[in-house]
Amino acid sequence: MKKILLCATFALAVLNNFAQNCSDIFISEYVEGTGNNRAIELYNPTLQPILLDGRYSMGRERNGNALPMLVEVSGIIQPYGVRVFALDKRDLNGTGVEVPLATELIAAADSFLTPVYSQSYSPMYFDGDDAFFLVKDGNEILDIIGKSGEDPGGGWWALGDPNTRWWTTNHTLIRKPSVTRGVNENPEVFDPSLEWDSLPSNTFTELGEHFCICNPVSVEERVVNTFSIFPNPVVQGTFALKSSSMMESITLFSIDGRLIVQENLNGVTYSNITLPKAEAGVYFIEVIYTDGRKAIQKIMAR
């Protein structure tokens, strides 16, 4: 792989050529999990296949030093399709810094990158407090996660919401379906809640596909499988789920990944769910439908 080192002035530049909506690839999922579990999913929002070879690169800047380290990526992303890139740690006998990725992440990845760590060249070793870049033709920023030149300490979080502190550390981030392009200039403030949904650590189930309004078929599928929660926030330990599609099961996780509830619904469109005694805070509920599709939403408990 060819290494490209960008200078600080490039990293902080405001670009004149903005990507048009649904016109070029952007980052659709970001996995920063335990051990070496690191992955980036790229999404093609266009009607044409996109060849990555020789044109696209991505990687992190280390601890806010404004010097992004990029590695070229290769492969083809089909229209409205994705490609998953993971850190190259696949030795199942590896220990310490060589501990392998989770088997589920290995299975979900299409390509593996940069197995060897060094301070001067480690584009895939992001730790939640590293801005991450997607670049085209060596100098056009297509997307940024985080803020270049800033070291947020433990990671970035949703402003004013202490329950979501450090979204970018030990979490999986999924781009909201309404996002149709990447962030192509350095933000004044990075608030991940504006464009991302945050899921518990080591969530790999959503890799391999992305729902986006750029794809009208994807939107139709998303609408069919949307579920509603009432009331939300949950105030007395019981809430109702309603969906236009038949629900097979639900799983409720705490924000730190602990399993709270897992229940089979056996093909219903409406169900009352009772929470066990749990602390007030933010939770995530995943619905699996009878056709195998999944949807995740945030739920608050008081």
Per residue in 182-227, pLDDT (tens digit) is 999 999 999 998 899 888 899 998 999 998 888 877 554 554 557 8
CATH at 250? 2.60.40.1930
For residue 164, name the pLDDT band (cuts at 50, 70, 90): low
Question: Quick check: is 213 in a domain?
Answer: no
For residue 3, name the pLDDT band (cuts at 50, 70, 90): very low
The number of C-alpha atoms within 13 Å of 197 and in the hemisphere containing its C-beta is 21
Question: Quick check: is 184 in a domain?
Answer: yes
Say whether both 20 and 91 belong to one domain: yes
For residue 254, name the pLDDT band (cuts at 50, 70, 90): confident
Say whether both 45 and 7 belong to one domain: yes
> Residue 53 burial (CB < 10 Å; 0-12/13-18/19+)?
exposed
Q: Mean pLDDT across the stretch 112-119? A: 92
Say whether both 145 and 273 belong to one domain: no
Say whether both 77 and 180 belong to one domain: yes
Question: 64-96 burial, b if ≥16 CB within 10 A, otherwise e?
Answer: bebbbbbbbbeeebeebbbbbbbbbbbeeeeee
Domain count, the chain: 2
Specify which residues 273 forms β-bridges with: 239
Q: Mean pLDDT across the stretch 9-19? A: 32
Say whether both 193 and 231 belong to one domain: no
Question: Quick check: is 245 in a domain?
Answer: yes
For residue 33, name the pLDDT band (cuts at 50, 70, 90): very high
Q: Is the pLDDT of residue 6 over 50?
A: no
For residue 114, name the pLDDT band (cuts at 50, 70, 90): very high
Question: Quick check: is 107 in a domain?
Answer: yes
* Last residue in a domain, options 148, 181, 199: 199
Parent domain of 120? 3-199
Q: Is the pLDDT of residue 143 over 60?
A: yes
Distance in angstroms (rounded) separating the CA atoms of residues 302 and 224:
29
Distance in angstroms (rounded) separating the CA atoms of residues 207 and 220:
20
Q: Is the pLDDT of residue 163 over 80?
A: no
Q: What local confidence, expressed as pLDDT, does residue 19 receive? A: 37
Distance in angstroms (rounded) separating the CA atoms of residues 63 and 252:
34
Distance in angstroms (rounded) separating the CA atoms of residues 219 and 215:
6
Q: Is the pLDDT of residue 176 over 60?
A: yes
* Confidence (pTM): 0.72
Question: Quick check: is 220 in a domain?
Answer: no
Q: Mean pLDDT across the stretch 119-123? A: 87
Instruction: Between 186 and 300, name the one with better pLDDT.
Output: 186
Say whether both 179 and 251 belong to one domain: no
Say whether both 162 and 249 belong to one domain: no
Distance in angstroms (rounded) separating the CA atoms of residues 76 and 251:
34
Say whether both 9 and 120 belong to one domain: yes
Question: Quick check: is 160 in a domain?
Answer: yes
Q: What local confidence, expressed as pLDDT, does residue 59 receive? A: 97
Say whether both 173 and 246 belong to one domain: no
Distance in angstroms (rounded) separating the CA atoms of residues 246 and 240:
14
Instruction: Between 183 and 228, name the one with better pLDDT.
Output: 183
Q: How much is the mean pLDDT over the chain? A: 85
Say whether both 167 and 101 belong to one domain: yes
Say whether both 271 and 195 belong to one domain: no
Q: Is the pLDDT of residue 244 over 60?
A: yes
Question: Quick check: is 205 in a domain?
Answer: no
Say whether both 93 and 149 belong to one domain: yes
Question: Quick check: is 147 in a domain?
Answer: yes
